Amino acid sequence: MKHNAMALGLLLTTTLAMGSTVAFAELAPVPRFSITADNAPESLTAMLGGSIEDTTEISVPGAAWLQLRFDAFALGPEGKLVITTPNGDVQNFTQDSLTAWDGKSAAFNGAELSILLEGVSGDVTIAEVMVGLPGATPEIAKERASETFFDFLGVGDMSRYMIDDVPPKTDDGSALPPDLEFGATIESICTPVDKRVSSAHPYSGRLMPVGCTGWLIPGNLVLTAGHCVGSSMGWLEFNVPRSYLDGTTRPTEVKDQYPVIRSSVVSRFTGVGNDWAVFRVAPNTETNLLPSDAQGGHFEVSNTAEPTNVRITGFGVDGPAPKFGNPPPRNGDNQTQQTHAGRVVRHTSSGSSSGTLKYRVDTQGGNSGSPVFAEDSNEIAIGIHTNGGCATTGANAGTSFRNKALWNAIQPKTN
């Protein structure tokens, strides 16, 4: 029996033509509903759009997890907003910290939240309730969700609240070729057996709910794949727990979540070898720490290292043989941290905005953005994993730090 890792949902496999090469962008968005004042069912109408009371209870029976977004909040200099759950999770906000988190809470496991306002001088309005679906894909969620869940939300058709995770577009705005449905071929497992094993590297985190991997580098910066950048790249989380047995992901503890600062994102996405993003996150509300401090460090980066073998550590989907989660079913290892090492096939640069890495290392959807680092070093990274392709090209692929645009985007900040 292989590995023991964790975490997440819907596998989105997008194709990217690169001459005669075809690679597959490895995202895995989490299935979820967005409930706003405009589309709220009667059961939630009173909670959305208007000013909430000093104590407010929110419950969505059958939800896997919940997240709130506040679009108006005047807590005042002494005011506090406290969110609690029946299982003891707590998040405390001041006006400044709620602003830094762009009005969004952490994601909380379970189906119930309590909001307590203390010393608040103005109005607080909930704009959106994000509801994690029970199941690793929308299709599975529809099968597993109880009648109570759908009755509460007043839906027979899931499209009313479902978030449309459209395939990424390249920098010039052109759409990629159509998605592959959950195909019969495993594109990113390089041998007949998935050799990933569970791991707990402290510097590699999960980007949610887009379903990618992000990792820490000097200067309190985070790296991921350029095709992971979008409206659903919401927060970075560490110390990810095991998923439910059907692959439904569980958010981490509040103290391990960090919201992406969207204004900080710098990215490029034109294809294999030029697919990268760098950004910052806000401090955690409970520890007031940035992740490099909380996790005890970061990866170092190199554009000169030439390892024979590399390791990739990230949050790919998982399931039983022979498909290993692509397509489902998924399992408790789904989108938890796993790792595998293998040989480098190619490491080149071409011009100022291209640097290509190819390697025979097992990955899956959700590994997009993972660090590619020397196997004999736990900290020296040479690039960013972006694409599967073992079954079609003989290797998976990523963007090397020999891409000068990428290197220049991070190097001044690492001095």
Look at strands 257-271 and 274-281 and give their pairing.
antiparallel
341: helix, strand or coil: strand
Q: Residue 150 corresponds to which tokens in the numbers above? A: 């759908």
CB-based contact 61:148 (threshold 8 Å): yes
Residue 378 has pLDDT above 90, yes or no: no
Residue 303 has pLDDT above 50, yes or no: yes
For residue 210, the one-letter residue type is: V
Query: How far, in Å, CA of 67 to CA of 115, rounded?
Result: 12
Query: How far, in Å, CA of 212 to CA of 249, rounded?
Result: 13
What is the tens place of the pLDDT at every residue in 229-277?
A: 988 899 999 999 999 999 999 999 999 999 999 999 999 999 899 999 9
Strand partners, 398: 357, 385
State the pLDDT confidence band at 180, using cuts at 50, 70 and 90.
Answer: very low
DSSP 202: T
Which of 288, 291, 294, 276 shows the shortest CA–CA distance to 216? 291
CA quadruple 140, 146, 152, 155: dihedral positive or negative? positive
Per the prediction, the chain carries an average pLDDT of 88
What is the tens place of the pLDDT at every residue in 396-406?
A: 999 999 999 99
pLDDT value, residue 16 = 35
pLDDT value, residue 186 = 65
What is the tens place of the pLDDT at every residue in 253-263?
A: 999 999 999 99
Query: How far, in Å, CA of 35 to CA of 32, rounded?
Result: 10
List the 80-84 sheet strands across, edge first.
55-59, 112-118, 80-84, 90-93
Type and span of the H or E element at 18: strand 12-18
Of the two residues 154 and 207, the one the predictor is more confident about is 207
Which of 29, 366, 353 shows the shortest CA–CA distance to 225? 366
Q: Give the whole-number percent of the chain exceeding pLDDT 90.
A: 69
Q: For 316-333, what is the mean pLDDT?
A: 93
Query: How far, in Å, CA of 370 to CA of 145, rounded?
Result: 32
Q: Residue 42 corresponds to which tokens in the numbers above? A: 């009667």
Which of 101, 137, 94 shows the shortest CA–CA distance to 117? 94
Full-prediction pTM beyond 0.75?
yes
pLDDT value, residue 167 = 65
pLDDT value, residue 408 = 95
Give the residue carrying structure tokens 């194709």.
15
What is the tens place of the pLDDT at every residue in 4-62?
A: 322 222 223 333 333 334 456 778 999 999 999 888 988 888 888 888 989 999 999 99
Query: How far, in Å, CA of 39 to CA of 272, rounded?
Result: 39
Give the residue carrying structure tokens 């480098």.
344
What is the tens place of the pLDDT at every residue in 118-131?
A: 999 899 999 999 99
State the pLDDT confidence band at 148, using cuts at 50, 70 and 90.
Answer: confident
Contacts of 403 (CB under 8 A, 6+ apart): 273, 274, 276, 349, 353, 354, 355
Contacts of 352 (CB under 8 A, 6+ apart): 404, 405
DSSP 243: P
What is the tens place of the pLDDT at every residue in 59-77?
A: 999 999 999 999 989 999 9
Q: Residue 314 corresponds to which tokens in the numbers above? A: 């990230």
Query: How far, in Å, CA of 152 to CA of 79, rounded?
Result: 33
Of the two residues 166 and 340, the one the predictor is more confident about is 340
pLDDT value, residue 47 = 85
Domains of the chain: 12-29+168-176+184-414 (2.40.10.10), 33-160 (2.60.120)
Peptide bond into 322 cis (omega under 30): yes
Letter string b/e over residues 133-143, b meaning 16 or more CB atoms within 10 A of that residue's CB:
bbbbbbebbee
Residue 179 has pLDDT above 80, yes or no: no
